[in-house]
Amino acid sequence: MTGEGLRTENRMIYLTRRAEFSASHYYHNPDFSPEENQRIFGKCANPHGHGHNYTVEVTVAGEVDETTGMVLDLKDLKAVLETEVMQRMDHKFLNKEVPVFATTIPTTENIAVEIWNLLAAKLPSGRLHRIRLYETDDLFVDYYGD
Amino acid sequence: MVSLTKRYRFSASHRLHNEVLSAEENSRVFGKCNSPYGHGHNYSVEVTVRGPVDAATGMVMDLGLLDQAVEQEVLERFGHTYLNLDVPNFKGKVPTTENLCVEIYDLLRRKLEGTKGSADLEKVRLEETNSNSFEYSGRDSAAAMREKE
């Protein structure tokens, strides 16, 4: 099947897959005094942590493959997300159970950058375009790798 | 660089009406929105700021500062008002959601530029209803057209 009518070459498509995970975190910088930590991070400084239902949207950019009609196989994207993000972060206390966040504060900004780092090299095809991470319905960050 | 977006909500009423147009023209151009006593919306405004992640705090900016700026410049000014009569910003200007979006962008831009520790304003997205939304990033239209080419 060559698709006589529809020409898709040179057209960039952005495909987004959404996934949800739940995790807890707290904000603390050991270089700050307890008073500074409290002033800067407020309620988020509680050392026992607090949780969120995070929603991550992974956007992949690529051209449509002529034989499959796809930018990439969604099963593969789902599998990479599962291994790289879900298994590492879902139902975890990020500060204690995800090694990178032992030394980096697990703010939504930093989690988005870490998810980018975990996924960028693992995509079977296409190019990672954006990580959007919702901490709540009303608050999200975008990271484009720059 | 990371972009951070926070959503805020406010309710206001407006009437789309331009005094330089005749009654018939106003009715033709603005339809139901020209109804003489105005009508209201629950607006949802998404404010996006952009900047490097501070190494010490892990944050693009202190959300408290953003909340304060939006509270003062947007929610207090426009919340529960009749935009045409209660807000001087719309004297002589039709309070469409396009114009409101640009006005909010300009107000926040000025406020955040004068706020120590603030990241840069990247975009304002204003939802008038679940189905209608408007975005403004501060670019002039000629530059935007050139970018597209």
Cβ-Cβ contacts under 8 Å, B1 against chain A: 143-144, 146
Of B6, B62, B64, Cβ closest to residue A139: B6
Percentage above 70 pLDDT, chain A: 97
Asked if the C-beta of A137 comes within 8 angstroms of chain B's C-beta atoms, the answer is yes
Which pLDDT does position B103 carry in this prediction?
96
Instruction: Express each pLDDT in A73-90 by its tens digit.
Output: 999 999 999 999 999 999
Of A110, A142, A144, Cβ closest to residue B53: A110
**Of A44, A63, A84, A129, which residue is the catalytic one?**
A44
In the 3-class helix/strand/coil scheme, how is chain A assigned residue by residue? CCCCCCCCCCCEEEEEEEEEEEEEECCCCCCCCHHHHHHHHHHHHCCCCEEEEEEEEEEEEEECCCCCCCCCCHHHHHHHHHHHHHHHHCCEEHHHHCHHHHCCCCCHHHHHHHHHHHHHCCCCCCEEEEEEEEEECCEEEEECCC
- Test mutation, B2, B6, B8, B65, chain A, max A CBs within 10 A: B2
- Beta-carbon-side half-sphere exposure of residue A52 (alpha carbons within 13 Å): 21
Percentage above 90 pLDDT, chain A: 82
Element (H, E) at B24: helix B23-30
A109:B60 CB<8 A: yes
Q: List chain B residues with pLDDT less than 70.
A: 149
A44 annotated active-site: yes
- Phi-psi label, residue B118: left if phi above 0, alpha if psi -120 to 50, beta otherwise: beta
Which pLDDT does position A4 carry in this prediction?
67
B80 annotated active-site: yes
Instruction: Express each pLDDT in B51-90 by its tens digit.
Output: 999 999 999 999 999 999 999 999 999 999 999 999 999 9
A91 annotated active-site: yes
Helix locations, B63-140, DSSP H: 63-70, 76-78, 83-86, 97-113
What's the domain count of chain B?
A: 1
> Quick one: average pLDDT of A96-114?
96
The SS3 call for residue B140 is: coil
Tokens representing residue A99 in the block = 């090694």
Between CA A21 and CA A81 the distance in angstroms is 11
Report the alpha-carbon angle B53-B57-B62, nearest 5: 80
A109:B53 CB<8 A: yes
> Quick one: average pLDDT of A125-130?
95
Of A27, A41, A112, Cβ closest to residue B2: A112
**A123 has a pLDDT exceeding 60:** yes
Between CA A109 and CA A144 the distance in angstroms is 12
**A92 has a pLDDT exceeding 80:** yes
Instruction: Express each pLDDT in A2-56 by its tens digit.
Output: 556 777 678 899 999 999 999 999 999 999 999 999 999 998 998 888 999 999 9
User: Are A93 and A102 spatial neighbours (Cβ–Cβ below 8 Å)?
Assistant: no
User: Are A31 and A50 spatial neighbours (Cβ–Cβ below 8 Å)?
Assistant: no
A105:B58 CB<8 A: yes
Cβ-Cβ contacts under 8 Å, B57 against chain A: 27, 29, 40-41, 105, 107
- How distant is the Cα of B58 from the closest Cα of chain A, in angstroms? 6
Which pLDDT does position B14 carry in this prediction?
94
Of B4, B7, B57, Cβ closest to residue A29: B57
| B70: containing domain | 2-148
ipTM of predicted assembly, 2 dp:
0.78
Which pLDDT does position A1 carry in this prediction?
54
| CATH code, domain with B96 | 3.30.479.10
Which pLDDT does position A126 carry in this prediction?
92
Which pLDDT does position A107 carry in this prediction?
96
User: Are A95 and A101 spatial neighbours (Cβ–Cβ below 8 Å)?
Assistant: yes
pTM of the model: 0.86
Which pLDDT does position A7 carry in this prediction?
75
- How distant is the Cα of A124 from the closest Cα of chain B, in angstroms? 25
Our measurement of the distance from residue A14's CA atom to the centroid of its chain's CA atoms, rounded to an integer in Å, reads 16
Asked if the C-beta of A107 comes within 8 angstroms of chain B's C-beta atoms, the answer is yes
Asked if the C-beta of A106 comes within 8 angstroms of chain B's C-beta atoms, the answer is yes
Go through chain B and tell me how many residues it has. 149
For residue B41, give the nearest of B130, B114, B108, B141 by alpha carbon. B130
Roughly how many angstroms between the first and final C-alpha of chain A, as a whole number?
A: 39
Asked if the C-beta of A4 comes within 8 angstroms of chain B's C-beta atoms, the answer is no
The domains located in chain A, with CATH, are 13-143 (3.30.479.10)
